[in-house]
Chains A and B, each alone.
Chain A
C-alpha cells in the first residue's frame, strides 16, 4: 500500500498503476487539494474507509455524529476557506441525511463534493439493504450528480465533480459510487484535472457594449445605489469591488450573504438589505434612480413585494448566472459575467464621483433607526439582556476579526445586523434555505477552513437542539469553536410573527431546553450560563480566552422583536420601525 501510494502521487506519463476505485478516489481528492473530509462510515462506503485508513497522514477525516452535521461542516469549511468542501456518507439513510445540506448549499451557491456509497451495482433496484435512489432524490438540490458503477470512471468523474462544484456559480455535486466500483481494481493512469466540459459554460462572455451602457447610466445617475451579494465573495472580487465602490462614490448595501465583502465600517457601506435589514437601504431602494446589483439574486426576503420594488430605477445587474438576469427584477442593462472581470472594466469606464448629499440621506435614516431601534437594542433599559447587546460586546472583544457563524431565526438577524466584519469570508450563515441546526456543525467546518481565525457560533436555543449531537465532533476533533447560545426560551422568530400577525396566538413556540452547560460538560467542553448584564463582558472574555472550545449560554429577554421589519407582502419602503 505504502509503495503504491508513493508511486501514485508522482505518476510517470505513460505508466499506470493497478489500484482499487477507492484508492483512485482518494488520490483524486488529494490531487484536487483536499485536506479535510467530513464523514460518517457505513456498509456501502466501507471499501473507501478501508483505503482511507492508509491515508491518515494526507487526509484529515473528521468523524461527525450525523451526516447532516457532516455536510453543514463541509459548507462551513467551503465558506471560510474558499475551497471545495468534501463530505463522505454511506448509502440509504446516510445519503438521505445529506439532502438538507445539499439544498442549503445549492441555494447559497456553496461548492461541495459529496461522495456517497451505494449498494453493489447488481443490487440496484432490488430494494437491497440501505439502498435508496440517491441520484433521483438529490437531483433538484445538486448542481450535478452522477452514479459510478465502474471504477474506471472514477478519475474522470471526480475531476468533473470538482470542476463543476467550484467553477461558474459554485454549487454542490454528489457522486454515488457502488460498492463494486470501490473494490474493483483497474489501471489508474494518473489524475488529470478537468477544465472544460463542452456542454457547460461556467462564465458567460463579457460584452463590452454592456459595460459601456452601464457606465453611461452610472455616470449620469443622481441617486445611484449598489446592492451586493455573495457573488463578490465567491468571485474573490473584494478588491475589485472596493475599487469600484470608492471610485463611483455610490452608497452600497449588502444581502445577508454579501456581508463582509467590504468592511462594516467602510464609509460607503450603508447596511443590510431586506426584511430585517436597515431602514435607509430599504426605503431608498424605492428612491434611487439607478440600481446596481452585483452578485445577488433579488431574493423575496430582499425585495419584498416585487411589483412595488424599485420601479422608478434603471437596473444594472451583474451576475455570472444568466438565469438570474431578469428572473425576479427586469434589468435595463444586463452585465453577464464574472464580477472579477466585469467590475474592473466598469471601474475603468466610470467617472470618479462623490454622492455626498445622497449618502447623507442614508445617514439620516440611520440616525432615525438608531433612535427608534438600535439604541435600545444595544443599550437596553430593561433588566433582561437583549441579543443585540451580546453582539455589541462581542464586537468590542473580537474587534470584528472573528468568523461569525449563525443559525436561523431572530439571533441570526440580530447577529448579521450588528456584528462587525472587517474581513471577507467572515459571515457564515444559512441564507437562502434558512436551515435551523446549521450553525454548530458549520462552525466546526468553518474552523477547519480557517484555523488561524477565531470562530464564534451564535445559535438560538431552538436551532442548537436540532444538531447538538455535533458537540461530540467538537470533543473528538479537539477543535476550538466558541459557542454562544442566545436563549429566549422561545422559537423566537415564529413567536414574533405570531405576535404581530396571528394575534399573539403562540402556537407551539414555547420551547424548553436542557441545562446547556451540563450538556457541554458531558462532552468535556467548559461553559457558563449568565443572565445578568454585569457578567456579560467578563463571561465573553473568559470564553474567548479559553484555550479550546467553550459554550456560553446567555439568557435574554423572552419576547423581544427584531426590527426594522418589512412585513411579508409589503413593499420595502413600507418597512416598520416598530
Chain B
C-alpha cells in the first residue's frame, strides 16, 4: 500500500529531517551480556536501515562477563542517535554510547605479506620499518609479514608503499576505541545490578542541556 510519492528534501533511512547535516564517522560502544545471537540482533538494527557497518569488533570489557562492541559507521548524527537508542533497547544490552573520532582514542592493526626476495633486493627493510612504525612479525625465505598499528591513514599508507613491491596479502583488524572521558563501567554495573537504579543508569541527554531544552 505504498505510493511512489517523491519528496525532494533529504530524509535519513532511519527517518527524520537532515537538512544541513553531513555524514561523518561515529564510534558506537556497546556494553552487553555475553549472549549467543546478540551479534545478529545488533547487526540487523543497521542492515534493516540499509546502513553499512564499516568496522565491528567484539571483545571482553574491563568487567568479567560483560562484552564490549566497537562499531564504526559513517552516518548523520541524528541517525546514529536513533540507532544507539534502538541498540540500547535490546534486552541484553546494558548501555550504548556514540562518539566522534575526536572523542575516542582508537587503533587498528594491519598485517602485510610481501615477498622476502623483493624486499631484500629493492628496499631497505630497516628504513621501511622505521618510517612506518611497522615491525616484522615473521621473516621466512619466501615471504615476510609486517605489522603496523595506528589510524586508518597510517595503515593505508603502508599499503601504498608496499604495493609496488608486490604486496601478496593485506588484512586490517576492526577498530578498537577507548572513550576519552569515560570513567569505565565498573561503578555503573553496580547500579545496573540494583533493582532500583539511580538516574545515571538511564542517562537523559536532555538533562545535560538544562535550560536549552525548554524555551517558550
Q: Do A and B come from one complex?
A: yes
Please report A residues at the B interface, Cβ cutoff 8 Å: 135-136, 139-140, 143-147, 164, 195-201, 204-205, 207, 210, 213, 216-217, 220, 305-307, 314, 321-323, 326-328, 332-334, 336, 434, 493-494, 497, 501, 567-569
Instruction: Identify the stretch in B155-163, B166-174, B198-206 within 8 Å (CB) of chain A at 4 or more residues.
Output: B198-206
Contact string against A for B residues 175-213, beta-carbon threshold 8 Å, 1 for contact and 0 otherwise = 000000000000001001101010101101011000001
Whether a CB of chain A sits under 8 angstroms from the CB of B89 is yes
Given contacts A323-B86, A497-B1, A568-B2, contact A201 B202 (CB under 8 A): yes
Between-chain CB contacts (< 8 Å), 24 pairs: A140-B48, A147-B36, A164-B91, A198-B94, A199-B33, A199-B93, A204-B202, A204-B204, A205-B199, A205-B201, A207-B207, A314-B216, A321-B89, A323-B85, A323-B86, A323-B88, A326-B81, A327-B82, A334-B204, A501-B3, A568-B2, A568-B3, A569-B5, A569-B7
Output the least CB separation between A40 and chain B (Å): 25
Q: Closest residue to B93 on the A side, CB-wise?
A: A199
CA distance A355 to B197 in the complex (A): 40
Given contacts A199-B91, A569-B7, contact A145 B82 (CB under 8 A): no
Q: Closest residue to A325 on the B side, CB-wise?
A: B85
Instruction: Pick from A217, A306, A323: contact of B89, CB below 8 A.
Output: A323
Output the least CB separation between B152 and chain A (Å): 31
Instruction: Identify the stretch in B37-45, B102-110, B128-136, B142-150 within 8 Å (CB) of chain A at 4 or more residues.
Output: B37-45
Output the least CB separation between B58 and chain A (Å): 15
Whether a CB of chain A sits under 8 angstroms from the CB of B15 is yes
Question: Which residues on the A side are within 8 Å of B92 (C-beta)?
Answer: 199-200
Which of A197, A198, A328 gathers the greatest number of chain B CB atoms within 10 Å?
A198
Whether a CB of chain A sits under 8 angstroms from the CB of B70 is no
Question: Which residues on the B side are within 8 Å of A306 (C-beta)?
Answer: 15-17
Contact indicator B213/A332 (Cβ below 8 Å)? yes
Instruction: Pick from B3, B86, B88, B195: contact of A569, CB below 8 A.
Output: B3
Contact indicator B94/A199 (Cβ below 8 Å)? yes
Please report B residues at the A interface, Cβ cutoff 8 Å: 1-3, 5, 7, 9, 15-17, 32-33, 36-37, 40-41, 44, 48, 81-82, 85-86, 88-89, 91-94, 189, 192-193, 195, 197, 199, 201-202, 204, 206-207, 213-214, 216
Output the least CB separation between A262 and chain B (Å): 28
Question: Which residues on the B side are within 8 Å of A569 (C-beta)?
Answer: 3, 5, 7
Q: Kindly list 8 other residue pairs between chains A and B, CB separation below 8 angstroms, not including A140-B48, A199-B93.
A: A146-B37, A199-B33, A205-B202, A220-B216, A322-B88, A334-B204, A497-B1, A568-B2
Question: Which residues on the B side are within 8 Å of A497 (C-beta)?
Answer: 1, 3
Question: Which residues on the B side are within 8 Å of A493 (C-beta)?
Answer: 1
Q: Closest residue to A333 on the B side, CB-wise?
A: B214
CA distance A195 to B196 in the complex (A): 11
Output the least CB separation between A116 and chain B (Å): 15
CA distance A501 to B4 in the complex (A): 10
Q: Closest residue to A501 on the B side, CB-wise?
A: B3
Q: Closest residue to A322 on the B side, CB-wise?
A: B85
CA distance A146 to B7 in the complex (A): 41
Contact indicator A139/B199 (Cβ below 8 Å)? no
Output the least CB separation between A537 and chain B (Å): 34
Question: Which residues on the B side are within 8 Å of A207 (C-beta)?
Answer: 199, 204, 207
CA distance A275 to B34 in the complex (A): 44
Question: Which residues on the A side are within 8 Å of B16 (C-beta)?
Answer: 306, 327-328
Given contacts A307-B17, A328-B16, contact A323 B82 (CB under 8 A): yes
Contact indicator A135/B7 (Cβ below 8 Å)? no
CA distance A326 to B204 in the complex (A): 13
CA distance A567 to B188 in the complex (A): 48
Given contacts A195-B195, A200-B91, contact A213 B214 (CB under 8 A): yes
Contact indicator B3/A332 (Cβ below 8 Å)? no
Output the least CB separation between B97 and chain A (Å): 14
Question: Which residues on the A side are within 8 Å of B1 (C-beta)?
Answer: 434, 493-494, 497
Given contacts A213-B214, A497-B1, contact A199 B15 (CB under 8 A): no
Question: Which residues on the A side are within 8 Å of B91 (C-beta)?
Answer: 143-144, 164, 197, 199-200
Contact indicator B214/A136 (Cβ below 8 Å)? no
CA distance A336 to B199 in the complex (A): 12
Question: Which residues on the A side are within 8 Å of B15 (C-beta)?
Answer: 306, 327-328
Which of B17, B41, B94 gathers the greatest number of chain A CB atoms within 10 Å?
B41
